[in-house]
Structure 1
Amino acid sequence: MPPENGQRRRPSLSLPILRLSRSQHLAGTLTLGNLLSALGETSFGWAIVVFSLFTLLPLPPGSSLITALPLLLTTGQMMLGYTHVRLPGPLARSRLDPVKLRRTILRLRPVTRRLERILIPRYTLLFARRNERLLGLMLFVIAFALFLPVPLSGWFPAISLFVFGVGLVERDGLVATIGLGLGAASVLLTATILISLVVGAEAMID
C-alpha cells in the first residue's frame, strides 16, 4: 500500500551495511576497512555505527576489551580534531563474519525501526566543526565505559554510541543528543557497578 500524501518511505538504516557486507563477502573482500571505505570512511558517524555493531556481535565475555578499541580510536581521533577516520593497517584488514553481522543488525531492528520513523536533518549546529572535539571527548568517555569489562553494562554504552552514530550520519541533532543522554546514563551505570564491586571486595577482605 503506497504511503499517504505522496511521501516515500525512507530507506532502512541497515540496508547500506547489509548490501555492502554481502557484496564484499561474495567478492572475498569483507574487511573493516573496506566496509568503512564503501560507506564513506571520512564520516565519523558511519565509523561509530559500524564499530558499535562490531561490539554487539555475539562474542565471549570480556571481548569488549578488544572490540571497544576501534571505538576508542575513532572517538579519540574525533576528540583530537581529525577530519576523518584513520585506521591502522591491521585493524583495517580485520575480517568480519557476515552472518554474525547480519544477525546483530536484525537484532537491533526494534531500535532502528523507531529511529527511521523520526530521523530528519535538524539541530545541525550540534555537528558544527567547533563542537567536534567536545563531542569526541564525551563519546570517548562512553567508549571507555564500554571498554571496561564490567558485568551487565556493556550493551548500554554500545547502543548509545550506535544511536549517536545514526544521528550523526543523518545529521539529526535530536537523535544524536538522545544517544549522548543514553551514553551518560550508561557511564553512570558502569561507575555505580564498579563502585559496588570495589566496596564488596573491600568488605570481603575486611
Structure 2
Amino acid sequence: MQREAKKRRRPSLSLPILRTSRNQHRAGTLTLGNLLSELGETSFGWAIVVFSLLTLLPLPPGFTLITALPLLMTTGQMIMGYPHVWLPAPLARLQLDPVKLRRTVLRLRPVTRRLERILTPRYTGLFARHNERPLGVLLFVISFALFLPVPLSGWFPAVSMFIVGVGLVERDGLVSALGLIFGGASVLLTTTIVILVFTGADALIN
C-alpha cells in the first residue's frame, strides 16, 4: 500500500521543465543555459532531456541538422570523460520559445505518463563512472541518426534519447536500457531508409 501511494504521489516529469520555463519567460531570462542551470546544469541526464525536446520542436524539415548538434556535443563530452555538461556561450544564450517548448512537452505526455508509473532508482551500475564513456558512444550513435535529415525517422531517435535522459535523471538503469534498445531500433530504421534512398537514386541514375 505504501509503495502504491508513493507512486501516486510521484511528481510529473514534465512539471520541472514547464514551471522553470514559465518562470524564466516571465522574468525575460529563458535561455538554454538558464533552463539547464535551474534544472541541474551538471547533469548529463537533464541536458539530454532538454536537447531531445529541442529536436522535437515544430520546426521545418531538415532542422535536425541544427537541433541535434547539442546532443552530439553532449554525448561527445560523455565520451571524452567530462565531469559535467559544458555549453559554449552562443548555445547557452540561445533563446527558447516557451509556447513551442510547452507544446512539445505536452505532446510527450503519453510517454512521460508511462515512465512515471515505473520509474524508480535501480540497476544504477549502468551509470557508474567507468560506464559513462561506453554509454556516451551508444548515445552519440543514436544522436547521429537523429542528426541525419532522413524522412520519417527523426522522431524515434529523439524519443529514445528523451527516455534515456529521464532514466539518467531518475537513476533508473532499466528505463535507460529500454531507451537504448529503442534507440538501437531507430538507428537500424534510419540505416535502412538511407540504404533504400541511395539504392533508389542509384537505380534512377543507371
TM-score norm. by structure 1 comes to 0.97
Per-residue Cα deviation, 1:67-86 (whole angstroms, up to 9, x for no partner): 00000000000111100000
The letter for the 1-side match of 2:103 is R
CA distance in 1 between partners of 2:114 and 2:120 (Å): 13
Change (3 A) 1:6 1:47: closer
Post-superposition shift, 1:9? 1.2
Change (3 A) 1:134 1:67: same
CA distance in 2 between partners of 1:63 and 1:205 (Å): 28
The residue matched to 1:135 in structure 2 has which SS? Answer: helix
Change (3 A) 1:6 1:88: closer
Change (3 A) 1:4 1:173: closer
CA distance in 2 between partners of 1:5 and 1:154 (Å): 36
What is the aligned partner in structure 2 of residue 37 from structure 1? 37
Per-residue Cα deviation, 1:110-161 (whole angstroms, up to 9, x for no partner): 0000000000000000000000000000000000000000010000000000
What is the aligned partner in structure 2 of residue 167 from structure 1? 167
What is the aligned partner in structure 2 of residue 129 from structure 1? 129
- Aligned-residue CA RMSD (Å): 1.1
How many residue pairs get matched? 204
What is the aligned partner in structure 1 of residue 199 from structure 2? 199
Which of 4-13 and 49-58 deviates more? 4-13
Post-superposition shift, 1:12? 0.2
What is the aligned partner in structure 1 of residue 154 from structure 2? 154
What is the aligned partner in structure 2 of residue 72 from structure 1? 72
Post-superposition shift, 1:88? 0.3
CA distance in 1 between partners of 2:75 and 2:114 (Å): 25
The residue matched to 1:95 in structure 2 has which SS? Answer: coil
Moved over 4 A (4+): 3-6
TM-score norm. by structure 2 comes to 0.97
What is the aligned partner in structure 1 of residue 189 from structure 2? 189
CA distance in 2 between partners of 1:84 and 1:126 (Å): 17
The letter for the 2-side match of 1:19 is R
Tell me if 1:180 matches 2:180: yes
The residue matched to 1:113 in structure 2 has which SS? Answer: helix
Change (3 A) 1:69 1:6: closer
Identity %, equivalent residues = 77
What is the aligned partner in structure 2 of residue 16 from structure 1? 16
The residue matched to 1:168 in structure 2 has which SS? Answer: helix
Unpaired segments ≥5 residues, structure 2: none
Per-residue Cα deviation, 1:2-54 (whole angstroms, up to 9, x for no partner): x9965351000010000000000000000000000110110000000000001
CA distance in 2 between partners of 1:5 and 1:193 (Å): 43
CA distance in 2 between partners of 1:194 and 1:144 (Å): 13
Change (3 A) 1:16 1:5: closer
CA distance in 2 between partners of 1:57 and 1:150 (Å): 16
What is the aligned partner in structure 2 of residue 62 from structure 1? 62
CA distance in 2 between partners of 1:132 and 1:6 (Å): 34
